[in-house]
Structure 1
Amino acid sequence: MPVLLRRDPDLTRAVIARWLAERFPEEGTPVVGPISTPAHTGFSGEILLCDAEWDHRGPRRVRPLAIRVAPTAHRLFPGDDWEHHTRLQALLAGTDVPVAKILGTEPTGELLGVPFAVMERIPGQVPSDLPSYHHSGWLARLPASAQAEVWNGGLELMAKVHRLDPDTVDLSFLDKTSREPAGIGRQLEEYAAHLTFYGAQDSPVVTRALHWLRSHRPPEPDAPRLLWGDARLANIICAGQTPVALLDWEMATLGAPENDLAWYLYTDRFMSEGRGLPRLAGLPGRQETVSRYGSLLGRAMRHLPYYEVFAAFRFCLIASRLTRLMAGTGIQRPDNESPYARSTALLDRLLGETDACVRQGGTTVT
């Protein structure tokens, strides 16, 4: 669900035009077109879409732009890591991980009242959050083979993230000072420390999940890798049926690749089963996906059921926060659905399934 445009559009256009003129003086004075927001995705931060046009020096030139505004009122996460995320995206632009190029940032907040980053807007389409891509939209209209291509192409792009060599890409700014080393232990306790912020401190299901996660924490024998964090279909830009770029790095951290794969699987499950919808017939199933991803990384996936419970736990906290933000801003979902109620029910269901799996010794998926 997108954050609604609550800024004066004419003032915003003037600010962006001024910033562009100062940033790219050799281009001359730009004309900035109408401001809009993404139609079907994005609540973690404010995204502004516009076109900038220069035409007085040579041929007419139009540059599609996306402006990511640092979160203020619509803050899904307790930390203020906006600068880290923009820095990461700029760093990734120099690798084979496909991301939108950042043209520049305004970190002071003097122009729009909050910091912002201006990026090139990559042409393409993104699977919809609302309505779910399992229900309708361009992905649902594709033949089954093309749906599988979108799903598997997303895995291939995600593997590029996990294959980045930590010895050649300096990600130290993501490694926050903590008593815990980077990995699942640190991530779990960071979420646990902010249950009140998310508004889930009184949920019996959340409490049970946290106890389970602490009791079954697996070893992570490999050096931590960069994690995309919000690894899901709705954060992938596709050209036709081919994934071409990854969006949204607000949840980026360091850890085991299983973390991202579990989120990829769980968020898709929530978008279908969690919303009472049949899953798209062309999307590969869990076992096929896990096997394929193991091939992409060159090793079997370890303890994946654990990471799926962790994904469901995190999703439930974020859904709780999202539900509160929606209520506080008067935003109503078209289907009157409570993301928190549905995510709590699915977390409860997954805990039962995983408990049974653990009892049978099935914590490792190969």
Structure 2
Amino acid sequence: MSAAPVSTVEPRVAERFRAERGEPVTGFEPLLGGHSGLTYRVTTDRARYVVKAVPDGRTPIGRHDMLRQARIMRALADTAVPVPRIVLEDADQPAWFAMELVPGESLEPVLDDPAVEPELAAARMRRVADVLPLLHDVDPARITDPGETLTPADELARWARTMNAVPPDLVAGGQHLLDLLARDIPAPIDPVLVHGDYRLGNILCAGTEPAALIDWEIWSVGDPRVELGWFLVFTDGGNFPGVGRAVPGLPTAAELVERYREKRALPGDLTWFDALGRLKMAAIMGHNLRRHREGRHHDPDQEKLPATIDRLIATGTALLAR
């Protein structure tokens, strides 16, 4: 979500808020932090909102399809899953939507700054583990045009492409881990709605309580175990040497899985999905490091990633070698 010119979006947002909601826009501020779209904080004479827009010149597909994000949040508005309320959409290009600004913090305890007090971080992690089965209980049939259903094999193929696009010296051992994963791919189970990047960094919390699940760029219908395996990567700061931190008292992966299973049945062992989550993170970090070293996105902090990439690949490999 880079700071791009707002000339094509700002006047359209202001006109729609005035015409359809009777709210004059008094502030329009770019927000930074991601790469999938443009995000703005909008202030009117009544309230504050967040606007997400397709970047100028980008095709509105995949991560850049803002109206697809709005569609899933609208569909979840009357469920137990906390999501921001959508207030406006504009399909003209570049498309955008506006949602209520939900107060709260979205901080990953083992990665983000400022650091979250350990007791608070632990309480939040337990509560978001309680929310995940609520999402997976939503009937996918209520979503219009959800797209292709992704199996564990599909997920592995997707992240293999990402890993294979990274120079091998940046992801040493990555191919071996891919081979181990491909050797015994679990059969799919009944598909569910998945967020795609479910973790505390994408959940606004008010105190200990999850107030809104945000950043729906890669939602799909898929295997719930893939989502849970990704979430578990963030339970241990030891997975991120050089870039993360140890947080005492965080619930273990086993505890979080048990909390999930108290609300929703989950068959089988999760070892393969735990290893897949580590491979995914290693592939993403390898991709980001490659972009930095090629000069495509200069960020010296990316040079801190090799130790974490090595750790994720090594621990994922160890899980499958048992």
- TM-score class, shorter: 0.7 to 0.9
Task: Give the gaps of 5 or more residues in structure 1.
Answer: 55-60, 358-366
Deviation track 1:3-54 (CA, whole Å, cap 9, x = no partner) reads 441325xx37xx435424235515446133151415xxx4242443323223
Displacement of 1:215 in angstroms is 0.8
Report the CA distance shift for 1:94/1:345 in structure 2 as closer, same or farther (over 3 A). same
1:21 maps onto 2:15 in alignment: yes
After TM superposition, the score normalised by the length of structure 1 is 0.75
Please give the secondary structure, in 1, of the residue aligned with 2:140: coil
Q: 1:99 aligns with which of 72, 79, 83?
A: 83
Call closer, same or farther: CA 1:241–1:29 in 2, change over 3 Å.
Answer: closer
Structure 2 residue 112 is matched with structure 1 residue 161: no
Q: Call closer, same or farther: CA 1:29–1:285 in 2, change over 3 Å.
A: closer
Aligned residue number for residue 54 of structure 2: 70
Superposed displacement of residue 325, structure 1: 4.4
Work out the CA distance in 2 between the residues paired with 1:87 and 1:356.
42
What percent of counterpart residues are identical?
Answer: 23
Structure 1 distance, partners of 2:90, 2:292, is 28
Determine the C-alpha separation between the residues in 1 that align with 2:28 and 2:20.
23
What is residue 96 of structure 2 aligned with on the other side?
Answer: 116
- Residue 189 of structure 1 aligns with an amino acid whose one-letter code is A
Q: Which amino acid aligns with 2:185?
A: R
Q: Deviations over 1:232-267 (max 9, x none)?
A: 111110112222111112222222222111111113
CA shift, 1:73, in A, is 9.2
Q: Does 1:293 align with 2:260?
A: yes
For structure 2, list consecutive stretches of 5 or more residues without a partner in the other structure: none
Q: Is the 8 A contact 1:52 1:65 kept in 2?
A: yes
Of 28-37 and 148-157, the range deviating more from structure 2: 28-37
How far, CA to CA, are the matches of 2:312 and 2:55 in structure 1? Answer: 27
Identify the match of residue 211 of structure 1 among 179, 198, 203. 179
In 2, Cα distance between equivalents of 1:195 and 1:279? 27
- Determine the structure 2 residue equivalent to 1:360: none
CA drift at 1:96: 2.1
Work out whether residues 312 and 343 of structure 1, in 8 Å CA contact, stay in contact via their aligned partners in 2.
Answer: no
Over aligned residue pairs, what C-alpha RMSD do you find?
A: 3.1
TM (norm. structure 2) is 0.84
2:156 to 176, 188, 191: 188
Secondary structure, counterpart of 1:5 in structure 2: coil
The answer on whether the counterparts of 1:47 and 1:66 sit within 8 Å (CA) in structure 2 is no
Distance 1:87 1:321, change over 3 A: farther
- Matching of residue 150 in structure 1 with residue 116 in structure 2: no
CA 1:215–1:344: 2 relative to 1, 3 Å: same
Structure 2 distance, partners of 1:18, 1:138, is 38
Partner of 2:275: 309
1:81–1:311 CA distance, 2 compared to 1 (3 A): farther
Which one of 111, 126, 132 corresponds to residue 132 of structure 1?
Answer: 111
Q: Distance in 1 between matches of 2:105 and 2:63?
A: 30
User: Does the 8 A contact of 1:44 with 1:74 survive in 2?
Assistant: no
Confirm or deny that 1:223 pairs with 2:190: yes
**Does the CA contact (< 8 Å) of 1:128 and 1:137 recur in 2?**
no
Looking at structure 2, the residues matched to 217 and 324 of structure 1 have their Cα atoms a distance apart, in angstroms, of 28
Contact 1:200 1:206 in 2 (8 A): no
Q: How does 1:350-361 map to 2 (within 5 A)?
A: 350-357=315-322
Taking the aligned partners of 1:272 and 1:30, their CA distance within structure 2 comes to 49
The residue correspondences of 1:248-287 to structure 2 (distance < 5 A) are 248-269=215-236, 271-276=237-242, 277-287=244-254
Deviations 1:172-227 (A, max 9, x none): x2332xxxx6321122223334556x53577452322222111110123x321111
Deviation at 1:115, TM superposition (A): 2.8
Q: Structure 1 residue aligned with 2:40, among 49, 53, 73?
A: 49
With over 3 angstroms needed to count, the CA separation of the structure-2 counterparts of 1:348 and 1:91, relative to structure 1, is same
Count of residue pairs brought into register by the alignment: 318
Which one scores higher on RCO, CA 8 angstroms, separation ≥ 6? 2
Question: Secondary structure, in 3 states, of the residue corresponding to 1:33?
Answer: strand
Give the conservation status (yes or no) of the 8 Å contact 1:316–1:344: yes
* Secondary structure in 2 matching 1:243: strand
Q: Tell me the distance in 1 between the aligned counterparts of 2:285 and 2:126.
A: 26
